Chains A and B, each alone.
Chain A
Amino acid sequence: MKQYYIVCDVSLCHDCNNCFMACKDEHVDNDWLPFSHAQPRHEHRWVNILRTERGQQPRIDVAYLPFMCRHCAAPECVKAFPDLITKREDGPVLIDTDKAQGASQLIDACPYGAMYWHEDVQIAQKCTMCTHLLDDTQITSGMSAMPRCVHSCPTNALEFHHITPAEMAQKINADRLESYQPELGGTGAQVYYKNLYRFEKLFIAGGLLLDGECAEGIEVSLSKVNDSERLSASLITQITDYFGDFKFDALEPGTYSLAANGKALVTINITESVNVGTLVLA
């Protein structure tokens, strides 16, 4: 059976907030029963855009991760409240808008904090994947059946798929999709991320100077210190660009050694992304 999936490419999100706005547009003041009561005007973030900056200027980058309910394959919230929350066969995890009335303890059942309490209605709420749109094409009069966040995304950072789990498994493999913090709720879910390293991993960047000029075309290599297993070949060397710049990305914390044209440059221990600055070649 086909299921619904949202795939988010972290490298394409630039925090425009259209997804966040569209979610509010769809849900604030609008009851979509039996799927959801109206979202309160403020406070809730059914799409919560997480933000990070990496490095030190001028060598920095930024990344954003639109986080919403993952609609886990084996949801902790369903395990805890099987009568109040259900996982549909086509993917969405839905809170029962009748039975869950007054059940504020639901909020704590989500390890990701994706649920919000609606004080006025006395109910826990979260992303429904706009199931009311997926199920009922009548109310949208021709609008593509997809969650509003995806429909409003101008950079294609958010994509929506209606495919079988087998097809999705292929896509996960081919596009190197990952789960966000799978240790909390398992790897299986309806929401996956691409280029997650931009949000979670570290970089080492810097520039090289030779005879007072930016050193273009220098081979820079990176190796992990005290580690018999060298980094993968694709990570280990780079050629500097015309600003003499290099940037090794998707690194784990640890101690690394940099060399240029085979000569050691610097050894550093990193716990966050680091701009090593402009290094002068002898």
Chain B
Amino acid sequence: MGKLTRKTQLTTGGPVFVDVDESANKIVRITPIDLDDHDAESWQIEARGKVFTPPRKTTYTPYTAGFKSLVHSKGRIMYPMKRVDFDPNGERNEENRGTSGYERISWDEALDIVTDEIRRIKRDFGPGAMVIEPSSHHLWGNIGYRHSALFRFMNTVGMTYADHNPDSWEGWHWGAMHMWGWSARLGNPEQTDLLEDALNNTTMIVFWSSDPETTNGIYGAFESTIRRRWLKELGVQFVFIDPYYNHTNGLYGGKWLAPRLGTDAALALGIAYTWLTEGTYDKEYVANHTHGFDAWTDYVLGVSDGIAKTTEWAESECAIPAHDIRALARAWAKNKTMLAAGGLGGWGGACRSPIGMDWSRMMIALITMQGLGKPGINLWSTTQGNPVDSDFYFPGYADGGISGDCENTAAGAKFVYRMFDGETSRPMSSNLSTSAGVHIPRLRLPECIMEDEVTWSGRGFVGGSIEQQFHEYKYPANGYARMQMLYKYGGPHIGTMGETNRYAKMYRTKKLPFVVSQSIWFEGEVPFADIILPACTNFERWDIGEWCTNSGYNPDSHNQCNHRVIVFQKKCIEPLGESKSDYEIFRLICERLNVGDVFSEGKTDLDWAKQMFYASDMPKVISWEDFTDKGYYIVPVTNKAPSAPAFRWFAEGREQDTRGWISRFRPGDVLEQKGLQTQSGKIEFVSNSLKRFGRHDIDDQERPLMPMYLPSWEGHHTERFKKYPLAVVTPHPRFTFHTMGDGKDSFINDIKDHRMLINGAYYWIFRINRLDAQKRSIKNGDIIRAFNERGSVLFAAQVTERIPEGTCHCYESSAEYKPLGIPGESIDSGGCVNILTPGRFLSKYACGMATEHALVEVEKWEGA
């Protein structure tokens, strides 16, 4: 082994040191970062007679720990490729996509084909015909991120963005926003300074559809693990409501309550009923801070619909004993209780399911009844709210990086004015993907390609106002061309969206004449492309970024981390094979289209990283040379603003004093700088915004004005349940980030709880209760087929007590799609459970995905 050089990098799973053997162009090891004595001091919190201060070391996730195997992987695409039966000037054989082989071609040939197609499509069809679609959460870094390099490319060339839906926000976005506003956080709550509040005041935490040890907040690795341990050591009681005995529950213990899938709102109503009838809610708070509470009370007590939502009624729906519901309700009311709803203070969990809007609104209803914002009482998932200095400015990936696209990123809020002087350097906004331009929802890509017309409401992440999600769109937009080209980048839809055989089918039609896939790995739906362009990982290029900072709709999310860590993401090795950075591939295409300089301004990715450094507050505290030499910077906490816990201002009727630019940025959203964004300025148990929309009693009945229990359309009251009696919950995965980390011959495949090696193949794990397994003669480690009318997928059975009878558990996000026969119509052995999940929207006008629950049947697989 040659001499080792230490570099620094940043991933969705934490910042790392990278030891590199440069002579062999090889990553030797990847480790967490031990802070040294020159780094800024850590914060301290004094609470209940103790002093708490975090470890002087960063944490990382297992997929980051195994990232070396993703870089040096036989799953990598090492050179450009062309589908063997694709001839751009002759027969394209679109219907063979997914089964044709590939032949190696040169970069010149690949770039020629792509740019010839761009010219042809622009001239023959006009604007809107070229669509680009990146996956969520690709590689970390503000230059290379999709909002940055990809958007600059998209806007330079004139492509349309396939709008992403807020795939981890859904229920909060489409439901909760109508109860308490927070549109700029897509319906999620602020979390500022809640750690100190909890350590001082909280005596109980109810984790409801929340497993921070699995989902790590978002990007936060295991930063919050130590904080939960502190809380536990202080005697704070934990209760877990989750169909799965999750890993946070497993680590810390505490009562486990497993509602039948899709019935969380019934359980919540049983709790509310107990508080209302026993008088154990904060009556004064409710009187002063809510709107429509009396009408909702009538619903809970059964005055308005004749059904009292007693704990016995709740038990009949959710299968949790009534006495346990009452015990929980009483302990909750007696304690100062944090409601950890979702993985990040909102987010994730049941909000991604068919009942997402009911669930998230019920969470708000319950914590409001107990005095949201009073000391120790909040909606807080233990993953955010660290006392770091959020006023120190460093942009996040959603600030748009080198695109400066103010329509499709948060660039216009602050960053674009600091990054671009307008003369020597200019942003590149879209004139297609604009409010009045052309739109395609990622969730309806197949229908937009295959059907005549598609309509939907709300465009992607709709945070501009509450009402923008009601705006109606159609495809194709008036006067714009239909899609002729799909430029796919990053991870697959098939492993992450809903009812995903649709996506396999959309590729195999002449209605889609050209498909490019720019990808690092040969996986998922890459083998449907006509031309494959090999990209490299962020370990093979320059970038800059801050850990956990996405900004935009998730402002100040760096407060998940115990230290703010800003990283110079060093090029550790040269790109492997003939792969290139995404930025370089985009630049080469632009160059051939005579817009190379417009795209790059003559800069390399390293030049852009430097420009971003100078656009931040960094030059005030460290030189570029010192920063790039050390590779990271810890933001001191000496200038942190005074503690201002989330919602305390609301509880106390004051002007908002919490940090986070996004709320105070639009004073027009509130009246006299007080109250919430809702019409009443209060938490609305009867929603004014839904009332104004006026569809709740016409054709949007699945989104009523109030938080209510509506039997799930993918649940046990449906006709389909007779045929598909097992309800599978498909949460975000533990060992990968979306599809990042899975497959690709990675180390992750060997994790016992991730995939199982059976007869030479790694099968995705499907967890099934012992009794359900017995009924079907299924043993641990058997290959099973899970199926419904949407498709069939093979898994390895894990027989377990961690899931109740009738419910199954299977993480989403398989990177592998391996159809045994015709793609889109045959059994998948790769493990894409999303083939079985619903493809429909939450409700007619709530156009979010609802993929976390699926009704299936399971059988032992006796096939070959």
Name A's B-contacting residues (CB within 8 A). 12, 14-18, 20-22, 24-26, 28-31, 41-43, 45, 49, 51, 53, 55-58, 60-62, 139-144, 148, 151-152, 154-155, 209, 212-214, 216, 241-245, 278
Residue of B nearest to A12 (CB): B251
4 extra A-B contacts, CB within 8 A, seeds A20-B750, A43-B750, A57-B803: A16-B61, A51-B753, A58-B257, A278-B321
- Residue-by-residue, is B375-407 near A (CB-CB < 8 Å gives 1, otherwise 0)? 000000000000000000000000000000000
Stretch in B30-38, B650-658, B690-698 touching the partner: B30-38
Indicate if B804 sits at the interface (CB-CB under 8 A).
yes
Q: Which of B29, B326, B735, B804 contacts A25 (CB 8 A)?
A: B29
B-side interface mostly:
mixed
Contact A213/B222 with A14-B250, A41-B745 known, Cβ cut-off 8 Å? no
Contacts of B750 in A (CB 8 A): 20, 24, 42-43, 45
A50 to B6, CA, bound (A): 34
Contacts of A42 in B (CB 8 A): 749-750, 757
- Closest-CB distance, A113 to chain B (whole angstroms): 15
Contacts of B245 in A (CB 8 A): 57, 60, 62
Residue of A nearest to B28 (CB): A30
Q: Which of A25, A144, A212 contacts B747 (CB 8 A)?
A: A25
Contacts of A62 in B (CB 8 A): 245, 250, 802
| B804 engages A18 (CB within 8 Å) | no
Interface residues of B in 794-841 (CB under 8 A from A): 800-804
Stretch in B64-72, B101-109, B425-433, B630-638 touching the partner: B64-72
Q: List 20 A-B contacts (CB under 8 A).
A: A16-B62, A16-B222, A17-B751, A20-B750, A21-B747, A21-B748, A25-B68, A42-B749, A53-B801, A57-B258, A60-B256, A61-B250, A142-B36, A143-B34, A148-B31, A151-B31, A154-B59, A155-B229, A214-B324, A214-B326
| A242 engages B327 (CB within 8 Å) | yes
- Closest-CB distance, B438 to chain A (whole angstroms): 43
Q: Which of B65, B321, B330 contacts A18 (CB 8 A)?
A: B65
Indicate if B60 sits at the interface (CB-CB under 8 A).
yes
A20 to B222, CA, bound (A): 16
| A15 engages B66 (CB within 8 Å) | no
| B752 engages A49 (CB within 8 Å) | yes
Contacts of B167 in A (CB 8 A): none
| A151 engages B1 (CB within 8 Å) | no
Q: Which of A14, A22, A56 contacts B65 (CB 8 A)?
A: A22
Contacts of A61 in B (CB 8 A): 250, 253
| A60 engages B327 (CB within 8 Å) | no
Contacts of B29 in A (CB 8 A): 25-26, 30, 148
A243 to B32, CA, bound (A): 41
Contact A152/B60 with A14-B251, A25-B65 known, Cβ cut-off 8 Å? yes
Contacts of B251 in A (CB 8 A): 12, 14, 155
- Closest-CB distance, B136 to chain A (whole angstroms): 22
Residue of B nearest to A278 (CB): B321
Contacts of A142 in B (CB 8 A): 34, 36
Q: How many B residues touch the partner, as a band?
A: 35 or more
A214 to B326, CA, bound (A): 8
Contact A212/B250 with A17-B735, A154-B59 known, Cβ cut-off 8 Å? no
Contacts of B592 in A (CB 8 A): none
Q: Which of B59, B69, B257 contacts A24 (CB 8 A)?
A: B69
| A14 engages B213 (CB within 8 Å) | yes
- Closest-CB distance, A69 to chain B (whole angstroms): 18
| B4 engages A141 (CB within 8 Å) | yes
Indicate if B221 sits at the interface (CB-CB under 8 A).
yes
| B331 engages A242 (CB within 8 Å) | yes
Indicate if B563 sits at the interface (CB-CB under 8 A).
no
Of the candidates B31, B330, B748, the one having the most CB atoms from chain A within 10 angstroms of its own CB is B31
| B60 engages A18 (CB within 8 Å) | yes
Indicate if B247 sits at the interface (CB-CB under 8 A).
yes
Indicate if B323 sits at the interface (CB-CB under 8 A).
yes
A212 to B323, CA, bound (A): 7
- Closest-CB distance, B773 to chain A (whole angstroms): 14
Residue of A nearest to B67 (CB): A25
| A14 engages B247 (CB within 8 Å) | yes
- Closest-CB distance, B72 to chain A (whole angstroms): 7
- Closest-CB distance, A148 to chain B (whole angstroms): 7
Contacts of A55 in B (CB 8 A): 801
Indicate if B225 sits at the interface (CB-CB under 8 A).
yes
| B4 engages A60 (CB within 8 Å) | no
Contacts of A22 in B (CB 8 A): 31, 65
- Closest-CB distance, A55 to chain B (whole angstroms): 7
- Residue-by-residue, is B65-107 near A (CB-CB < 8 Å gives 1, otherwise 0)? 1101100100000000000000000000000000000000000
| B747 engages A155 (CB within 8 Å) | no
A236 to B668, CA, bound (A): 64
Indicate if B26 sits at the interface (CB-CB under 8 A).
yes
Residue of B nearest to A51 (CB): B752
A60 to B69, CA, bound (A): 35
Residue of B nearest to A62 (CB): B250
Residue of B nearest to A245 (CB): B255
A233 to B265, CA, bound (A): 44
| B323 engages A154 (CB within 8 Å) | no
Contacts of B22 in A (CB 8 A): none
| B802 engages A58 (CB within 8 Å) | no
- Closest-CB distance, A134 to chain B (whole angstroms): 15
Residue of B nearest to A15 (CB): B753
Contacts of A25 in B (CB 8 A): 29-31, 65-66, 68-69, 747
Indicate if B17 sits at the interface (CB-CB under 8 A).
yes
| B17 engages A143 (CB within 8 Å) | yes
- Closest-CB distance, B392 to chain A (whole angstroms): 26
Indicate if B19 sits at the interface (CB-CB under 8 A).
yes
- Closest-CB distance, B511 to chain A (whole angstroms): 42
Return the 4 tightest CB-CB contacts between A and B, nearest first: A154-B222, A21-B65, A214-B327, A14-B251
Contacts of B32 in A (CB 8 A): 151-152
Interface residues of B in 93-147 (CB under 8 A from A): none
Contact A18/B801 with A30-B29, A213-B327, A214-B326 known, Cβ cut-off 8 Å? no
- Closest-CB distance, A60 to chain B (whole angstroms): 5
Of the candidates B34, B251, B328, B735, the one having the most CB atoms from chain A within 10 angstroms of its own CB is B251
Contacts of A148 in B (CB 8 A): 29, 31
Residue of A nearest to B753 (CB): A15
- Residue-by-residue, is B727-745 near A (CB-CB < 8 Å gives 1, otherwise 0)? 0000000010000000001
A14 to B225, CA, bound (A): 11
Contacts of B800 in A (CB 8 A): 53
A16 to B255, CA, bound (A): 22
Contact A143/B751 with A155-B225, A214-B323 known, Cβ cut-off 8 Å? no
Residue of B nearest to A59 (CB): B256
A41 to B1, CA, bound (A): 18
A30 to B748, CA, bound (A): 18
| A29 engages B225 (CB within 8 Å) | no
| A16 engages B324 (CB within 8 Å) | no
| B31 engages A152 (CB within 8 Å) | yes
| B747 engages A56 (CB within 8 Å) | no
Contacts of B213 in A (CB 8 A): 14, 16
Contact A30/B247 with A57-B258, A209-B323 known, Cβ cut-off 8 Å? no
- Closest-CB distance, B195 to chain A (whole angstroms): 17
- Closest-CB distance, A57 to chain B (whole angstroms): 5
Interface residues of B in 314-337 (CB under 8 A from A): 321, 323-324, 326-328, 330-331
Residue of A nearest to B55 (CB): A156
Contacts of A45 in B (CB 8 A): 750
Contacts of B221 in A (CB 8 A): 154
| A20 engages B258 (CB within 8 Å) | no
Contacts of A53 in B (CB 8 A): 800-802
Residue of B nearest to A58 (CB): B256
A164 to B247, CA, bound (A): 36
- Closest-CB distance, B3 to chain A (whole angstroms): 9
Of the candidates A15, A17, A60, A141, the one having the most CB atoms from chain B within 10 angstroms of its own CB is A17
| B323 engages A57 (CB within 8 Å) | no
| A18 engages B258 (CB within 8 Å) | no
A52 to B72, CA, bound (A): 33
| A243 engages B255 (CB within 8 Å) | yes
